[in-house]
A and B are shown apart, each in its own frame.
Chain A
Amino acid sequence: MNILVCVKRVPDPAENEIEISSDGSDIEREDLVYSVNEWDNYAVEEAIQIREQHGGSVTVVSVGEEESEEVLRREMAMGADQGILVSDDAFEGSDGRGIATILKAVAESGDYDLILTGAQSDEGAAQIGGMLAAMLDQPYASLVNEIQVQGGTKLQVGREIEGGNQEVSEIELPCVLSIQSGINEPRYVGIRGIRKVSGVEIPEKEASDLGLSEDQVGQKAARVKRVDYFHPEMGEGAEILEGSTEEVAEKLVELLKSKGGMK
C-alpha cells in the first residue's frame, strides 16, 4: 500500500508558552521550539506499521516554510521512505481550503492508496483531512484510533467518539483518514537516526510544479482570514497563591480542608 502522510511543523506544546506579539498580528515566534504536530507523528507511525506488515511505501509531505524540512527529515528518520516539501510565497495567507487544495495537488501527483492526516493541529481546526477527502472524492473517517487492512480494497477502522467509545466501520480504498492520538506508540527517533537521513535529498515543490494558480491558494483565495490574536477580558480567574513553596502549600492545605478536600 502506498501511503501519503500530511505533516505540519508547529510550536511544541510541551516546550512553549505562546505569547502574542505587541501588535497582535502574530504570536511571538522568536525562541519558539518547533516540532512535528503531535497527531501527525502518530499518523506516520501508523503508516510505517502498515507498510511493515503489508508492503508499499510511506511518503511524508509538508506545506510550509523551508524549516518544515526538519520535520520531514525527522519522520524519515522514523522510517518514512521519502519526503516532499511544498513551499511558495504564493501560499502566504492560505486558509484551510487553500492548504487542502495544495495537498490535493500533491496527492494527485503520486499514486496513493491511503492518505493520513492528524486529527487536528496547533490551530485546532480539525479540517484538512475532511476537506482533502471531499476534494479527491474519496471516503473519509476522522479521529481514527484503529486500522485493520482487509485485502487490497478496504480497511476496517475504529473512530474514537465521545466517552472514548469506538465506532467501527468499513471503508473503501483509496480513502483519507485523520488519526487520533494514542492509536499506537510512535517509535523513538535518536540522533543517529536523524544523522542517517541527513544527506537524503528532499524534493521541494512550488505552486507552478503542482499546477496551482494564484486564485486557488494564498490570500486571494482565502474566504476565512485570521484578523488578529488577542486575550479576551476574562472573569477574575483563579486566585493565585503567593509566597514560598512551603507557604503556598500551607495555604493550599487550609483551603482544601475547608472545601472537604481531605478525608
Chain B
Amino acid sequence: MSRQIFAYIEHNDGAVEDSAFELIKVAEQMDPQAQVTALLFGSGQELEDACQHAASIYPQVWKVDKQEHSYPNAELIRPQLVNLLPADAVVLAPFDTFGMDLTPGLAIKLDSAHVSDIVGLDGVDGDTLKAVRQEYGGQVHTHVHCDLSGGAVLSVRGGVFPASEGGQEGQVADKTSDAGEVQAGRRFLEVREAEVGEVDITKEDILVSIGRGIEEEDNIEIAQELAEAMGGVVSCSRPVVDAKWMEKSRQVGTSGMTVKPKIYLAMGISGSFQHMGGVKGNPFIVAVNKNASAPIFQVAHVGVVEDMLEFAPVLTEKIQEMK
C-alpha cells in the first residue's frame, strides 16, 4: 500500500516558497506513485492565493484558514496538524527556522520517527527510508536509516533537491473545521527587522569574508587591508558577529545578508550551508583555509590551503605590487 505523504508549505504574500517545489520532488523520490498532499495554514485571500499556487504543484491541497494563522506560529499549527494527519503519515517540511520550530515536537506528538536536515535520499526499502545527512558542519556525510512504519516527520534542506516545474491542477480542500481549536502557550507579538549597518555588503562586487579562522578581533585589520587593496569590503560568518567583532549587517548567510558579489574571497570559513545560503549570483569563490578537507573547497572555484593570518598580508602586498 502506498504511504500517504504530506508536505508542509510555507508561503508569503499569496505565493508559496521555493521549498514547495522541492518537497514534492522529495516525495516522488520516496514513492513515484505518491499522491502528495500540500498542507497550508494561513488566513483570507492571501491563503487562498497561496493554495491556488500550491495546486499548480500538488495534486491535493489542504488548507486551514484561521485569523490566528495569519502569521505562522508553530505552537498553534502543531496541535492542529496532529488533529488532521493520520498517525502513520509521512510529513515533509523545510529545514529552516520555521521547520526547526515545528518538526521535532510534531514527531513526538504523532509518535513518529524524526530525521532533520535531509540532504539526499537513497530510496525506500520496505519500511526503511534511506536518507543522507551531514554532521560537523558538513565535514562528513552519514547514511541514516529511518523506520517509517509508525509514520515519520522529515525536514529537508533547501536548495539541494531539484525543483518541480509544476503543471498540476490540484484540488483544494478546506480542512479548517477538522483542525480543532487554536490554542497555545506562545503568542506572536511582532517581527523586528534586522538593523541596517553603515556598509551595505549586499551591494558590493568584491567581498573579503572572514570566519572563525580570524581567531582574534585585532586580526580583522589584516582582512581590511586586503579588502582595501582589492577595492572591496569585509564581510563575515556568524561566529565573528556572535563574538561582537563585527556588526550583524556584515554577516553573510541565512540568518544574515544575502550577497551577490562578483568575487567572494572566504578566509577561515568552513562553508556551512547556513553561510553559503547567503552567497548568491554565482560569484567567483576563492577559499583560504588551513584544512584541505574543509567543505568550502567543494563550492569554491579556487582554493588556497594556508594559514589565512599569514597568507592575507602576503596577498595584500602582491596586489599592491602587481596592480
Taking Cβ atoms with an 8 Å cutoff, the residues of A that contact B are 11, 13-14, 17-20, 27, 38, 96-97, 100, 119, 122-131, 133-135, 138-143, 156, 158-172, 175, 178, 180-182, 185, 223-232, 234-235, 237-241, 245-246, 248-250, 252-257, 259-263
Contacts and interface: CB of A to CB of B under 8 A. Distances in A.
A231 to B, nearest CB: 7
| Interface residues of chain B: helix, strand, loop or mixed (majority) | mixed
Interface string B131-153: 01111110111111111001000
Given A124-B135, A141-B101, A229-B142, A261 B230 contact: yes
B235 interface: no
A255 to B, nearest CB: 6
B234 interface: no
Given A134-B105, A249-B311, A18 B140 contact: yes
A155 B183 CA distance: 17
B185 A172 contact: yes
A224 B188 contact: no
A261 B262 contact: yes
Given A140-B105, A238-B301, A170 B97 contact: no
Contacts of B107: 97, 131
9 contacts: A17-B293, A97-B113, A127-B104, A139-B75, A139-B184, A223-B150, A224-B144, A240-B303, A253-B322
Nearest to B254: A162
B116 interface: yes
Interface stretch (B50-58, B162-170, B237-245): B237-245
Given A122-B136, A123-B135, A238-B301, A162 B255 contact: yes
Top 10 A-B residue pairs of the complex, sorted by shortest distance between their CB atoms: A263-B231, A130-B104, A139-B185, A238-B303, A134-B105, A182-B242, A134-B108, A164-B194, A261-B263, A223-B113
Given A168-B190, A239-B303, 14 more contacts: A97-B113, A123-B133, A138-B185, A139-B185, A142-B100, A164-B248, A164-B257, A165-B193, A169-B187, A225-B146, A229-B142, A253-B322, A263-B205, A263-B206
Interface string B74-98: 1100100000000000000001111
A169 B188 contact: yes
B297 A238 contact: yes
B104 A96 contact: yes
Nearest to B131: A224
Nearest to B187: A170
B303 A13 contact: no
A104 to B, nearest CB: 10
Contact of A252 (B73, B108, B194, B286): B286
A143 B297 contact: no
Contact of B113 (A122, A156, A164, A224): A224
B144 A227 contact: yes
Given A172-B186, A241-B302, A260-B263, A124 B97 contact: no
Q: Which of B103, B185, B230, B285 has the largest count of A CB atoms less than 10 A from its CB?
A: B185
A252 to B, nearest CB: 6
B222 interface: no
B135 A230 contact: no
Contacts of A131: 104-105, 107-108, 114
Contacts of B191: 161, 165-168
B108 A135 contact: yes
Contact of B263 (A13, A129, A259): A259
A169 B317 CA distance: 50
Nearest to A258: B284
Given A166-B192, A168-B191, A224 B146 contact: yes
A241 B143 contact: no
B182 interface: no
B189 interface: yes
A138 B78 CA distance: 13
Interface string B265-307: 1000010000000000000111100011100011111111110
B118 to A, nearest CB: 11
A164 B116 contact: no
Interface string B222-260: 000000001110000011011110001001001111100
Contact of B319 (A11, A142, A165, A262): A262
Nearest to B190: A168
A126 B116 contact: yes
Interface in B110-140: 113-117, 120, 132-137, 139-140
Contact of A161 (B97, B117, B231): B97
Given A256-B263, A262-B319, A158 B192 contact: yes
A36 B37 CA distance: 41
Nearest to A182: B242
A259 B189 contact: no
B175 interface: no
B315 interface: yes
B318 interface: yes
A225 B130 CA distance: 10
Contacts of B100: 119, 126, 130, 142-143, 178
Given A229-B141, A240-B303, A181 B238 contact: yes
